[in-house]
Amino acid sequence: MSDVRDRNESAWLLTKDGSRMQHGLREDMRRFDDTDEVDAVIIGAGAGGGTMTQRLARLGWKIVTFDAGPFWVPEADWVSDEAGSHNLYWTEPRQIGGGDPVPLGSNNSGRGVGGSMVHYAGYTPRFHPSDFRTMTLDGVGADWPIAYPDLKPYYELIEGELPVSGEHWPWGDPHDYPYRPQPVGGNGELFLRGALAAGIEAHVGPVAISNGRFGNRPHCIYRGFCLQGCKVNAKASPLITHIPDALAHGAEIRPDSMVTRIGIDELTGRATGVHYIRDGLERFQRARTVIVAGYSIETPRLLLNSTSARFPNGLANDFDQVGRYLMVQGAPQTAGRFEAEVRMFKAPPPEVSSEQFYETDPHKPYKRGFSIQTVSPLPITWAEHVMAQGRWGGEFRDYMSDYVHWACLGALCEFLPQPDNRVTLADEKDRHGMPVAHFSYTRCDNDRQLMSAATEVMERILKAAGADEVMTINRNAHLVGGARMAADEQHGVVDRDCRSFAVPNLMITDGSVLPTQGSANPALTIMAVAARAADRLIDRPID
Amino acid sequence: MTRAVRFPGFNVRSQSDHWDDATRAVIVGRVNALPAVRFFTPAEEAAAKCLLDQLVDQRTEPGSPRVDLVRMVDARLAEKQTDGWRYDTMPPDGAAWQQTLAALDEDSQRDHGVGFARCTWEEQHAMLEAFRDADDPNWHGLPRSQVWNLWTRYAATAFYSHPELWNEIGFSGPAYPRGYKNLGIDRLESYEVHDAEPGDDPMAGGTE
Ligand SMILES: Cc1cc2nc3c(=O)[nH]c(=O)nc-3n(C[C@H](O)[C@H](O)[C@H](O)COP(=O)(O)OP(=O)(O)OC[C@H]3O[C@@H](n4cnc5c(N)ncnc54)[C@H](O)[C@@H]3O)c2cc1C
Ligand code: SF4
């Protein structure tokens, strides 16, 4: 653990009780002027941007990291309540369409320092080696310009920094976690029991909640509100895993500042800084390098809105790649009813997972696969599950009163990247006059087959555990892609080191660069990709 | 039909001394300090109240919880507190609510000669049942399923944010800073209460 502290001191920079940053760290934060040409601006302090901020600050770069949302103080700003957590989500206007429109907001988009990881569940699996070569292996999806061994050392580093707890992981590239698995609640217990009875392998983890204290961060108290922001600071998010160390190394975090356009020098074609709005005023911060990390909807939106004579269709969009190949994971959710009381709201929702069905099975008609995990919806989310079944009125309310008897599993199906699943700019404008994002999504046949296969397995597990009834709804989870990395500029927006093909000093280091998604939750991989991109700046500086 | 009390004596609010200040403030505000209606017109308010009550089967019966759904939804619309997305085939949420409530009144005028709020509980229920069962994917020029999604989403979010309903379903509410000590099947904290009607599996028709 001491080696973690040497390279990232964040957990030791909180007060002894772990409740907040040490005195002065935030108040005395270094502050730059708009006219200072800083080494880099980073747009978004989430998984990718937060990691990048810490890495570059450690390299001695002068950094300003913008976030459109607040610089959270968990004890004061977050609540142990579902409806009261609404302000954690990105709720600016957005439009959805296509054959299978994907709801946004609470489901997948955060806002504020820490990004979507503030209210992510906390699963942190690695991608499998096959994920980086799906086109070669299976004739679907895309090959990445990097391979698993390129990311492996960064997976190990980040797993130490979050840190991750779980059992020995037998799937993909088998590995161990720095912390032992967490105890499980009723939902995890039933998943393990059902999987065993059905002959399916399942394990506890991997979750970014340490088992025990970590630095000054306290132990989890099993309160089950991980998706509402962890007030305890037991669950990892960049707000506590990377930002404190970045501040200690001289980075500035500029919250409540929405970046609306990236500036371009029409002569040299280089990025010059960012236009942003703070307190109602439009401003411009100069920078030598611009690093975008606003996630799969806002990153394409910002690039598309950054037009110039050189880039009339949006920045780095010469080949109409920006916004395309955006993916969600199909996330059917199957619940099972037990005579006993499960009380799935007790314990963190992320507990147990299985990756047994992750890889392509040559005996099946579809390619690629899915994973299965515990999800433990709180009452409002559970009500959505029950209503999505078409129930309403008295029947709906009777179902709800049965809440303590239900266990709930969720699958993550590897939906394939498709060019027309994309972000464009709508005619509608937000209150700053910036066009809002339109996100179009349509599933392909392989996607649909995966969803029914995953549902079948989840029903099998729950019945094997003793459920007398099961019910499934179809939903989506996570976002990746939208500005993917590729071998060349005709197939993507950035190269293997997250540098844009079109603008030498423009980088993208967030979920939008992922060319495929596997059936793993994406945050760990996003952080690993960002950490690698930061390291590459040492060996291959921007000229 | 009165609903059987499944968790007799369970009262989430009796634990509020164990909640943190920020959480307590939010929940007390939700229960006691809702602003007056300011987004809906009186006609919209009347229709919305009946619609929302129908969706979650909230009737005025002595002893049963009353959640002021219309004020909760009105507050969200007035503050533009949306879910962060809307279908490109629907107007923005505020306009969508206004338009659909007017359409509901129009249907009700046509079928019963009065607005939706003046119909009996049974008539309202039948109208919504018919709305659900209709084959036409459009309703007054809007996609029927997306209208239903809008109504139910707002109704469910408001209803199950209320501590009275947590009592009804046995949910223990805010759990910080105390957390839970007894995880696992059939295990309770000292203040939790077992289901008195565990055989009431709604799917098995236990409550019919
Ligand atoms: C409910 C939920 C559950 C999830 N569960 C898991 C899970 O269990 N495991 C997992 O791995 N992943 C999970 N995820 C997904 C995970 O959180 C995201 O994939 C990840 O955080 C994305 O990282 P990012 O850096 O791309 O973007 P984010 O972390 O979203 O950060 C982007 C940041 O950029 C800011 N921003 C955007 N545009 C601008 C702009 N123009 N100007 C200024 N700031 C801007 C935003 O405010 C935001 O803070 C979950 C997500 C949600 C919402
Ligand atoms: S269950 Fe644990 S990790 Fe999740 S919010 Fe509660 S204390 Fe944090």
Q: Which residues of B touch A463 (CB under 8 A)?
A: none
Q: What are phi and psi for residue B10, nearest 5 degrees?
A: -75, 125
Ligand at minimal distance from the CA of A205 is 1
Tell me: pLDDT of B1 over 60.
Answer: no
Strands A469-473 and A333-337: antiparallel
Q: Which residues of A touch B83 (CB under 8 A)?
A: 89, 91, 103-106
The pTM is what? 0.97
The model's pLDDT over B125-144, given as tens digits with 9 standing for 90+, comes to 999 999 999 999 999 999 99
Tell me: pLDDT of B200 over 80.
Answer: no
Q: Taking the alpha carbons of A310, A313, A317, A319 in that order, is the dihedral positive or negative? A: negative
Q: Taking the alpha carbons of B68, A93, A235, A188 in that order, is the dihedral positive or negative? A: positive
Q: What average pLDDT is seen over chain B? A: 93
Ligand 2 lined by A234 (C-beta under 6 Å): yes
Chain B nearest-CA distance from A537, in A, is 36
Ligand 2 lined by A184 (C-beta under 6 Å): no
Ligand 2 lined by A290 (C-beta under 6 Å): no
Give SS3 for A302: helix
Mean pLDDT of A104-133: 95
Chain B nearest-CA distance from A399, in A, is 6
Distance A25 CA to ligand 1 centre (A): 24
Tell me: pLDDT of B48 over 80.
Answer: yes
**CA-CA distances (angstroms) from residue A197 to A356, A461, A473?**
15, 8, 24
Treating both helix axes as pointing N-terminal to C-terminal, what angle do B121-133 and B144-159 enclose, rounded to 10 degrees?
Answer: 130
Strands A95-97 and B86-87: parallel
- Cβ contact (<8 Å) for A95 and B87? yes
> By C-alpha distance, which of B26, B13, B170 is closest to A81?
B26
Q: Which residues of B touch A379 (CB under 8 A)?
A: 160, 165-166, 169, 171
- Cβ contact (<8 Å) for B160 and A400? yes
**CA-CA distances (angstroms) from residue B148 to A146, A476, B145?**
45, 19, 5
Tell me: pLDDT of A382 over 60.
Answer: yes
User: What pLDDT does residue A96 have?
Assistant: 97
Give SS3 for A397: helix
**CA-CA distances (angstroms) from residue A34 to A126, A284, A308, B203?**
39, 6, 21, 62
Q: Which residues of B touch A94 (CB under 8 A)?
A: 84-86
- Cβ contact (<8 Å) for B186 and A341? yes
Chain A nearest-CA distance from B198, in A, is 6
The model's pLDDT over A62-117, given as tens digits with 9 standing for 90+, comes to 999 999 999 999 999 999 999 999 999 999 999 999 999 999 988 889 999 999 99
User: What pLDDT does residue A106 have?
Assistant: 87
Ligand 2 lined by A235 (C-beta under 6 Å): yes
Tell me: pLDDT of B204 over 70.
Answer: no
Q: Which residues of B touch A183 (CB under 8 A)?
A: 183
The model's pLDDT over A225-283, given as tens digits with 9 standing for 90+, comes to 999 999 999 999 999 999 999 999 999 999 999 999 999 999 999 999 999 999 999 99
Ligand 2 lined by A224 (C-beta under 6 Å): yes
Ligand 1 lined by A44 (C-beta under 6 Å): yes
Question: Judging by beta carbons within 10 Å of its beta carbon (0-12, 13-18, 19+), is residue A393 exposed, middle or buried?
Answer: middle
Tell me: pLDDT of A1 over 70.
Answer: no
The model's pLDDT over A515-534, given as tens digits with 9 standing for 90+, comes to 999 999 999 999 999 999 99
Show the tokens assigned to A288. 């030598």
Distance A226 CA to ligand 2 centre (A): 5
Ligand 1 lined by A108 (C-beta under 6 Å): yes
Ligand at minimal distance from the CA of A67 is 1
Q: Rounded to an integer, what is the distance from CA A77 to the centroid of its chain? A: 21
Q: Which residues of B touch A81 (CB under 8 A)?
A: 23, 26-27, 161, 173-174
For chain B, the structural domain boundaries read 12-195
- Cβ contact (<8 Å) for A186 and B185? yes
- Cβ contact (<8 Å) for A75 and B128? no
Of all protein residues, the one whose alpha carbon is nearest to atom 2 of ligand 2 is A220
The residues, ordered by sequence, that sit 6+ positions from A81 with a Cβ below 8 Å of its Cβ are A225, A228, B23, B26, B27, B161, B173, B174
The residues, ordered by sequence, that sit 6+ positions from B29 with a Cβ below 8 Å of its Cβ are none
d(CA A347, CA A183): 9
Give the DSSP letter string of A326-384: -EEEE--EEEEE-SS---TTSS-S--EEE-TT-S--TTSSSSS-EEEEE----HHHHHH
User: What pLDDT does residue B207 have?
Assistant: 37
Confidence of residue A485 (pLDDT cuts 50, 70, 90): very high
The model's pLDDT over B52-102, given as tens digits with 9 standing for 90+, comes to 999 999 997 777 778 999 999 999 999 999 999 999 999 999 999 999 999
Strands A370-374 and A506-508: unpaired
- Cβ contact (<8 Å) for A397 and B3? yes
d(CA B121, CA A423): 44
Ligand 1 lined by A43 (C-beta under 6 Å): yes
Name the residue of A54, A55, A106, A117 whose CB sits within 8 Å of the most ligand 1 atoms, as the mutation to test its pocket: A117
The model's pLDDT over A148-182, given as tens digits with 9 standing for 90+, comes to 999 999 999 999 999 999 999 999 999 999 999 99
Tell me: pLDDT of A210 over 70.
Answer: yes
Ligand 1 lined by A115 (C-beta under 6 Å): yes
Which residue in chain B is spatially nearest to A471 when comparing CA positions?
A: B203
Ligand at minimal distance from the CA of A69 is 1
- Cβ contact (<8 Å) for A186 and B92? no
Of all protein residues, the one whose alpha carbon is nearest to atom 4 of ligand 1 is A120
Distance A305 CA to ligand 2 centre (A): 38
Chain B nearest-CA distance from A386, in A, is 10
Amino acid (1-letter code) at residue B35: P
Ligand 2 lined by A501 (C-beta under 6 Å): no
| For the CA of A235, the nearest atom of ligand 2 | 3
Q: What average pLDDT is seen over chain A? A: 97
Residue in A76, A225, A337 closest to B22 by CB: A76
- Cβ contact (<8 Å) for A103 and B85? yes
d(CA A34, CA A42): 14
What whole-number percentage of chain A has pLDDT above 90?
Answer: 97
Q: Which residues of A touch B169 (CB under 8 A)?
A: 379, 400-404
Strand partners, A282: A277
d(CA A104, CA A197): 36
- Cβ contact (<8 Å) for A223 and B180? yes
User: What pLDDT does residue A297 have?
Assistant: 98
Distance B100 CA to ligand 2 centre (A): 40
Distance A268 CA to ligand 1 centre (A): 32
Q: Cβ atoms within 10 A of the Cβ of A75, count?
A: 16
**CA-CA distances (angstroms) from residue A307 to A273, A290, A489?**
14, 15, 18
**CA-CA distances (angstroms) from residue A230 to A79, A102, A186, A345, B103?**
9, 26, 20, 14, 43
Q: Mutate which of A387, A441, A471, A476 to test chain B, going by most B C-beta atoms within 10 A?
A: A387
Residue in B27, B188, B202 closest to A81 by CB: B27
Tell me: pLDDT of A119 over 80.
Answer: yes
